[in-house]
Amino acid sequence: MMDTTGYVALSRQMALRREMDVVANNIANAETTAFKAQKILFSEFLVEQPGATPDISYVQDRSVFRNTASGALERTGGTLDFAIEGDGYFVVEAPEGRRYTRNGRFILNDAGDLSTREGHPVLDVDNRKISFDPTAPGFEISGDGVISTAEGPLASIGLVRFENTQTLAAEGGGRHRSEEEPKPVEQRRILRGTLESSNVEPIIEMTRMIEISRSYQSAQRMIGDTHDMQRRMIRNLGRVE
């Protein structure tokens, strides 16, 4: 029974360590454009013990839940800064395939294509690269993402949505991948000269970090107390004549 107590406490510590990693990552990305805070989901894992009642309850981290709420919109005035108001993701062409992002801090790459800071082209509604000259006469980007000049429309920035955004797997640079087939956003609203901030709330995350640290220390004391009891038991048994 004492060994079981130690294992239960250890499972708790392992779950807390994973949660601490998630919280630390949230805090590290509090200033990252369009970053979405994450939270770990736990579940009870029961192990049946022959002849023992009740079953032994362990802690198991099941998955990571992403808070998909929009971050605050901040006006930057940047010509190629874009923020999505409401639902949707930009589509970019990465070396590994199409990826999705809400980070609209874009540039023009060497080929003149609208791209991410890493050089991945942003795609239009027809999944084609978007090329333009921002100094061209009459250059304009409308609120629904249509890029045009004095000569007429050039392209429309692609926006897609997912039925279940929790299926999106985070990658570096604010990109996500998904096995789910995306659908076009019907009510498109793209703000130019604006960026979406991270939705991380640093004070809440710091408070959670303190709580996790205290819980970890409590589990450690439980393990230590269990070991002390085992040592005393062995010592006392050794004195029996």
Please, which pLDDT band fits residue 123 given cuts at 50, 70 and 90? very high
Percent of the chain whose pLDDT exceeds 70: 81
Residues 109 and 135 in one domain: yes
In this structure, the answer to whether residues 86 and 124 fall within a common structural domain is yes
Average pLDDT for the chain: 85
Residue 125 predicted with pLDDT over 70? yes
Q: What residues make up the domain containing 146? A: 73-196
Boundary (domain end) residue, out of 196, 211, 226: 196
In this structure, the answer to whether residues 232 and 155 fall within a common structural domain is no
Per-residue pLDDT tens digits for 4-53: 666 777 777 888 888 899 999 999 999 999 999 998 876 655 556 666 55
Residue (of 118, 63, 68) closest to 95 by Cα position: 118
Average pLDDT estimate for 145-162: 91
What percent of the chain stands above pLDDT 90? 48
Residues 132, 112 share a domain? yes
Read off the pLDDT band of 1 (50, 70, 90): very low
Q: Quote the pTM value.
A: 0.78
Domain total in the chain: 2
Same domain? For 190 and 207 the reply is no
- Do 60 and 162 fall into the same domain? no
Whether 139 and 209 share a structural domain: no
Which of 178, 196, 214 is the endpoint of a domain? Answer: 196
What average pLDDT does the segment 63-86 reach?
A: 91
Residues 151 and 231 in one domain: no
User: Of the candidates 196, 212, 227, which is a domain's last residue?
Assistant: 196
Worst-scoring range by mean pLDDT, 61-65, 94-98, 216-220?
A: 61-65
* Claim to verify: residue 232 and residue 180 sit in the same structural domain: no
**159 and 208 inside one domain:** no
Question: How far out from the chain centre does Cα 106 lie?
Answer: 20
Residue 4's pLDDT is what?
66
pLDDT higher than 70, residue 91: yes
Same domain, 98 and 174: yes
| Residue 186's pLDDT band (cuts 50, 70, 90) | confident
pLDDT tens by residue, 190-235: 999 999 999 999 999 999 999 999 988 887 777 766 666 666 666 6
